[in-house]
Amino acid sequence: MKKEEINQGLEELNKMVGWNKLLSLTNPENLTEERKKVLEKSLYNPCFVYPAFSPDKDVEQEISILNDKTGSYMEGLERDVNLDLLEQFQLGNRYLKSRDTPDFQDASAAIFSRPEQRDIEWAQKNYKIKPLEEDKTITPEMVRKFMLLYMNGIPRIEKEYEILIDPNRANIMVKEEEGKILLPVRDVSWEKLAGDLVHEIGTHVAQYEIGCRQPLPAFWLGFPSRAFTSEGMALYNEDLVVPDYAPRTKTRAGNIVAMVMAEEHPFSEINKELLSAGFIPEEAFKCTLMAKRGFSDTRKKGANFNRNLYIRGINMVREYLENGGEEWVLYTGRISLEYADRIKELDGLYRVSDDLPKRLRAMAKSVLD
């Protein structure tokens, strides 16, 4: 009974301060209006409005109670993961409470970390590259249809996913628990489509749905710092499906440059720098937005390092695989790499086939044939 209470408490905390909440509550409610103003006047500093952070319970109190219960009634991997997960929820609570305050940048760094010097140097070399003009002929409705087709290759449970076109989205957002995928209103190229298929569905949806078959709730709620593994694997898959894709390289580099600049500069100066580096206005806006999300008055200095989880994540995944790590382990659920060896020994583990990652990449790549 105590374990059930703990697991229920973790699920409630995940809904209040979990990874998806960190994203949704820093997505501006007035994004469409403010984007239009920036695209019309590039030196405009947007003023964003965010959804209220109003958890149903006292988050800090719930974390304290569950810490005590977990320490008393659980053991082994389950105990260690849950205690680390509660620490992650504590950081998430601080992050959301500190939006638009002087503490927000440090709260963001505590979760996502600042970009490493090697990544900053790489970005400086690549954010000014000039990719070839893309043939963007795939409409949001076509993306939606391809995603529904791709879904058929994912090991899944009962839930059917609803794929919606949302004019207030700057990027695709997957809400696995709700069974929803939100698409922005923009046309894309075949290369971008292939990358999005393996990133959003072939990684995020697959990890979640497989995680739902596992013996511990952390596999679907998410291990602590699971986003680094998940997003790192998603980028790793993208790189294999569409290698040397210059627009992706430029965007990753632009995200890093934007984060570094945001620590000391307003939105308008970051946007101006990216435009001068050859970013189209929409892409310059998106990179700058990501570095300033969580701030209402974007004239103020301060960065959100949320995009660094992708950069740090792919570095971690590459190092894990280069050092003999097994790829199938990354498809046991929403795991953290530091637990990979212990996960393999877990009783009752639902083990996917060794070739599943390759099959998911091949399915995505087939749209390019």
Q: What pLDDT shows up at residue 22?
A: 94
Q: What pLDDT shows up at residue 252?
A: 96
Q: What pLDDT shows up at residue 156?
A: 59
* Separation between Cα atoms, residue 230 and residue 155, nearest integer Å: 17
Residues 6+ apart with CB under 8 A from 77: 216, 339, 342, 343, 346
- Is the entire prediction scored with pTM above 0.75? yes
With 80 as the cut, is the pLDDT of residue 154 above it?
A: no
Average pLDDT over residues 33-56: 96
Average pLDDT over residues 244-263: 96
Instruction: With beta carbons less than 8 A apart as the criterion, state whether 111 and 92 touch.
Output: yes
Please report which confidence band the pLDDT of residue 205 belongs to, taking 50, 70 and 90 as the band edges: very high
With 60 as the cut, is the pLDDT of residue 317 above it?
A: yes
Mean pLDDT comparison of 8-22, 70-84, 120-134, 298-312, highest-scoring range: 298-312
Angle CA 163–241–143, to nearest 5:
25
Nearest to 138 by CA among 192, 191, 189: 189
Q: Domain boundaries in the chain?
A: 2-368
Reduced to 3 states (helix: H, G, I; strand: E, B; else coil), residue 188 is strand
Please report which confidence band the pLDDT of residue 155 belongs to, taking 50, 70 and 90 as the band edges: low
Average pLDDT over residues 143-158: 81
Please report which confidence band the pLDDT of residue 271 belongs to, taking 50, 70 and 90 as the band edges: very high
Please report which confidence band the pLDDT of residue 158 belongs to, taking 50, 70 and 90 as the band edges: low
Average pLDDT over residues 86-114: 96
Q: What pLDDT shows up at residue 73?
A: 84
Average pLDDT along the chain: 93
Instruction: Check residue 200 and report its DSSP letter.
Output: I
Name which residue leads in pLDDT, 171 or 115: 115
**What residue has token string 């105990």?**
79
With 90 as the cut, is the pLDDT of residue 276 above it?
A: yes
With 60 as the cut, is the pLDDT of residue 1 above it?
A: no
pLDDT tens figures, 321-361: 999 999 999 999 999 999 999 999 999 999 999 999 999 99
Q: Where are the alpha helices (DSSP H) in the chain?
A: 2-17, 19-24, 31-40, 59-73, 76-97, 104-112, 117-126, 140-151, 190-196, 206-211, 218-221, 226-241, 246-262, 267-276, 281-292, 308-322, 340-344, 356-365
Average pLDDT over residues 303-324: 96
State percent of the chain over pLDDT 90.
81
Count the Cβ atoms, other than its own, within 10 Å of residue 256: 26
Average pLDDT over residues 312-317: 96
* Separation between Cα atoms, residue 192 and residue 134, nearest integer Å: 10
With 90 as the cut, is the pLDDT of residue 169 above it?
A: no
Please report which confidence band the pLDDT of residue 157 belongs to, taking 50, 70 and 90 as the band edges: low
With 80 as the cut, is the pLDDT of residue 275 above it?
A: yes
**What residue has token string 């810490």?**
67
pLDDT tens figures, 58-67: 999 999 999 9
Average pLDDT over residues 19-41: 94
